[in-house]
Structure 1
Amino acid sequence: MSGLVLLIPIALGMGGLGLAVFFWAMRNGQFEDLDGAANRILIEDEEQ
């Protein structure tokens, strides 16, 4: 039982940290161009 007193706050803290990082990524535009990376692999670069 005493282990839960330590593990539950750690798990809640890690979940809150993950949520904060997700919202930071949303605010900084990390998820704006989802199709660009998928299409970029299909475009052939011209060799000089």
Structure 2
Amino acid sequence: MSILYLLIPLSLILLGLAVWAFFWAVRNDQFEDLEGPAHRILFDDDDNDLPPEARPERRDSGAPPRDDHDKDA
């Protein structure tokens, strides 16, 4: 029975942390775009495989995006 004196305050502290984390996420727009990642997975963007420094170079050079999956075997 004496363990309840420890577990009840501990559970209230954890609940408070969870509520704080939820409101922090809402305030920092973590839930702003819920459908974007679900649609983004449908497109084959090989530019995402490049390091961020090389992306503008490819875009400015006019080279078509790589497509390694459509090569004839």
TM-score of the aligned structures, taking structure 2 as reference length? 0.62
Structure 1: stretches of 5+ with no match in the other structure: none
Tell me what 2:54 maps to. Answer: none
Root-mean-square deviation (CA, aligned residues, Å) is: 1.2
Letter in 1 for 2:17: L
| Per-residue deviation, residues 18-48 of structure 1 (Å, max 9, x unmatched) | 0000000000000000000100100112317
Distance 1:38 1:29 in 2: 17
Structure 2: stretches of 5+ with no match in the other structure: 46-64, 68-73
Structure number having the greater helix percentage? 1
Question: Structure 1 residue 9: deviation in Å?
Answer: 0.2
Letter in 2 for 1:47: R
Letter in 2 for 1:12: L
Q: Percent identity?
A: 56
Greater radius of gyration (CA)? 2
Tell me what 2:6 maps to. Answer: 6
Question: Structure 1 residue 6: deviation in Å?
Answer: 0.3
- Give aligned pairs, total: 48
